Amino acid sequence: MSSEVALDFHSGVSSLHDTHHSHDEHHHHETFISKYVFSMDHKMIAKQFLITGMFWAVLGGFMSVLFRLQLGYPDSTFPWLEDILGKWAKGGHITPEAYYALVTTHGTVLVFFVLTAGLSGTFANFLIPLQVGARDMASPFMNMLSFWFFFTAGIVMLSSIFVETGPFSGGWTAYPPLSALGDASPGSKTGMDLWIVSMALFVVSSLLGGLNYIATVLNMRTKGMSMTRLPLTIWALFFTAVLGVLSFPVLFSGFILLIFDRNFGTSFYLSDIFVNGAGALPNEGGSAILYQHLFWFLGHPEVYIILLPAMGMVSEILSTNARKPIFGYMAMIGSMFAIAILAFLVWAHHMFVTGLNPFLGSIFVLLTLLIAVPSAIKVFNWLTTLWRGNIRFTPAMLFAIGFVSLFISGGLTGIWLGNSALDIHLHDTYFVIAHFHIVMGVASMFGMFAGIYHWFPKMYGRFLNNTLGYVHFWITIAGAYLIFWPMHYEGLAGMPRRYYDYSIWESFKQFSDLNRFISTVAMIVFATQILFLANFFYSIFKGRKLRTANPWGSNTLEWTTPIKPGHGNWPGEIPEVYRWAYDYGKDGTDFISQTTPVGADESVH
Binding residues (CB under 5 A) for Cu ion: these are: 300
Length of the chain: 605
Q: How far is the CB of 351 from ligand HEM (least distance, A)?
A: 8
Contact status, residue 157 vs residue 56, Cβ threshold 8 Å: no
User: What is the closest distance, in whole angstroms, from the C-beta atom of residue 35 to ligand HEM in the complex?
Assistant: 35
Residue 295 binding target from Cu ion, ligand HEM, other proteins, none, CB below 5 to 8 Å by type: none
Binds ligand HEM by CB under 6 A, chosen from 349, 454, 458, 567:
349
CB of 551 to other proteins, least distance (A): 28
Q: What's the CA gap between 367 and 344, in Å, rounded?
A: 10
Rounded CA-CA distance 96/102 in Å is: 10
Contact status, residue 120 vs residue 237, Cβ threshold 8 Å: yes
Out of 290, 415, 523, 531, the only residue in the binding site for ligand HEM (CB under 6 A) is 415
| N-to-C CA span, the chain | 26
| Stretch touching other proteins by CB under 8 A, among 228-236, 288-296, 485-493, 535-543 | 288-296
From residue 492 to residue 531, the character string flagging contacts with other proteins as x (rule: CB under 8 A) and all else as - is: ----------------------------------------
Q: By CB under 6 A, how many residues form the interface with ligand HEM? A: 22
Q: Does 195 bind other proteins (CB under 8 A)?
A: no
Rounded to whole angstroms, how far apart are CA atoms 10 and 120?
25
- Considering the complex, state which of residue 140 and residue 479 has its C-beta at the smaller distance from other proteins: 140
Cβ density class 190-222: b for 16+ within 10 Å, e for less: bbbbbbbbbbbbbbbbbbbbbbbbbebbeebbb
DSSP state of 557: G
Q: Where are the beta strands (DSSP E) in 356-415?
A: none
Least distance to other proteins from the beta carbon of 126, Å? 17
Q: Which of 252, 416, 470, 481 touches other proteins (CB under 8 A)?
A: 252
Q: How far is the CB of 450 from ligand HEM (least distance, A)?
A: 16
CB within 8 Å of 304: residues ≥ 6 apart: 240, 243, 339, 340, 343
Residues 1-30 that bind ligand HEM (CB under 6 A): none
Using the rule CB under 6 A, is 447 a contact of ligand HEM?
no
SS3 462: strand
Q: 48: closest CA among 145, 121, 142?
A: 121
**Quick check: helix, strand or coil at residue 162?**
coil
DSSP string, 226-265: -GGGS-HHHHHHHHHHHHHHHHHHHHHHHHHHHHHHHHS-
40 binds, among ligand HEM, other proteins, Cu ion, none (CB under 5 to 8 A by kind): other proteins
- Candidate ranges 3-11, 303-311, 469-477, 558-566; the one touching ligand HEM (CB under 6 A): 303-311
Tell me which residues touch other proteins (CB under 8 A). Answer: 3-10, 40, 134-142, 207, 210-212, 214-216, 218-220, 245-250, 252-254, 256-257, 260, 264-268, 271, 282-287, 290, 293-294, 297
